[in-house]
Structure 1
Amino acid sequence: MAQRLLLRRFLASVISRKPPQGRWAPLISRALQTPPHSPGDLTVTSSQARPLYTTRVCSTTFNIQDGPPDFQDRVVNSETPVVVDFHAQWCGPCKILGPRLEKVVAKQHGKVVRAKVDIDDHTDLAIEYEVSAVPTVLAIKNGDVVDKFVGIKDEDPLEAFMKKLIA
C-alpha cells in the first residue's frame, strides 16, 4: 500500500494535468487510477504531491583514484585542459581554495576540468610534479604543465589563471 501511494505521488508530481498520450498512456492511466479502498484507508490527492526538481549534473571535477595509471589516462592524455589540485585532508588553505577552484572551473562550462590529487594517497605524483607545499595547482594542457601556483588565490586571479589555460 505504501509503495502504491509513493508511486502515485511521484507520478502525480511528474505528469502534467493533460491526459496521457503516446505509447505509455495506458500504463500511466492505470497507475493514476484510485484503487478501491475502505473508509479507513488514506488517499493521496494531487494537491498533496510535491513538485520534483532535477538538476543537470556536470562532472567537471574528479578524484585521481589509482595513482599514475589513472593520472596518465585522465589528465596527461586528456584533450580538455586540466587544472590539477594537489591537496590534503588536513590542509586548511586547501579547504578554502577547493570551493573557489570548483566555482571558477564550473564557469568555464566544460572547457576545463579539475582533477583532485590527495598528496597523502598519491605521494609519487606529488614528488613527480615537484609539489613541495599544498595547495599546489597545476594547469596541464596536451600533457604539458603550462602554469602553476602555490597557496590560496581569490576568484579574479583564478579566472585569469583559467583564461591562460584555455587560450
Structure 2
Amino acid sequence: METILANMMAQRLLLRRFLASVISRKPSQGRWPHLTSRALQTPQCSPGGLTVTLSPARTMYTTRISLTTFNIQDGPDFQDRVVNSETPVVVDFHAQWCGPCKILGPRLEKMVAKQHGKVVMAKVDIDDHTDLAIEYEVSAVPTVLAMKNGDVVDKFVGIKDEDQLEAFLKKLIG
C-alpha cells in the first residue's frame, strides 16, 4: 500500500512539474514546438503510470503558486532568474527521491505565495543540476537558500514548520 501511495505521489509531483514548466514557458521558448494552440498535451495518471494524450485546447487557470514558483532549467536560466533577479529569491535544492523534500516543497510554495510577489521561489533538482548544487555547497537535501541581489543572505537544511518558514521569508523580505 505504501509503495502504491509513494508511486502516486511521485506521479503527481512529476505531473505538477511538467505542467509548471509548460505553463511558465513562452511559446517561442517552448521545448515542444510542434504543439499548437489547437492541441494540448494532457498528462493523465493511471495505475500503470503516467500517460500523455492529445486533447482539444482549453482555458487553464493558474494559482498564485505557479506565478511565484519556477523550475530552473540550466545554469544560464539560474543566472537570469535567480542571480540577476531584482526580487528576493528562495532557492529550493531538492531531489525526486527525497522524502523530506516532498513535504517541504509544497509547504514552502504555499508560504512564498502568501507573500504576494515580494519573493519568488526557484526549484533546483540536484540530480539534474549537480553543478549548481556543488557551486552553492549543497551537501544534503532539502537545502533552501535565501538570495537577494545575487548574494546568499540566509540558508537552512531540512524541514521547517510554517512558522519557521514565515520567519525565514520575513527576514529575507525585510
> Which TM-score applies when normalising by structure 2?
0.63
**Secondary structure, aligned partner of 2:117:** coil
SS at match of 1:110: coil
- Give the corresponding residue for 1:155: 162
1:60 to 41, 65, 68: 68
- The residue type paired with residue 76 of structure 1 is V
Q: Which runs of 4+ in 1 moved over 4 A?
A: 53-56
Q: Could you report, residue by residue, the CA deviation over 1:19-74 in whole angstroms, capped at 9, with x for unpaired residues?
A: xxxxxxxxxxxxxxxxxxxxxxxxxxxxxxxxxx98554310000002x2110000
Identity %: 88
After superposition, give the CA deviation of every residue in 1:135-165 in whole Å (9 maximum; x if it has no partner): 0000000000000000000000000000000
The unaligned stretches of length 5 or more in structure 2 are 1-58
- Picking from 92, 96, 104, the partner of 2:103 is 96
Q: How many residues align?
A: 114
- The runs of 5 or more residues in structure 1 that have no matched partner are 1-52
Q: 2:117 aligns with which of 110, 115, 139?
A: 110
Q: Which residue of 2 aligns with 1:164?
A: 171
2:152 maps to 145
Greater relative CO, 1 or 2 (CA 8 Å, sep 6+):
1
1:84 Cα shift?
0.1
Residue number in structure 2 paired with 1:45: none
Q: Is 1:74 aligned with 2:81?
A: yes
Q: Which has the higher strand share?
A: 2
The residue type equivalent to 1:138 in the other structure is: L
> Where do residues 22-61 of structure 1 align in structure 2 (5 Å cutoff)?
55=61, 57-58=63-64, 59-61=67-69
| C-alpha separation in 1, matches of 2:63 and 2:106 | 17
Root-mean-square deviation (Å): 1.4
For the pair shown, which has the larger CA radius of gyration, 1 or 2? 1
TM-score for the superposition, normalised by structure 1:
0.66
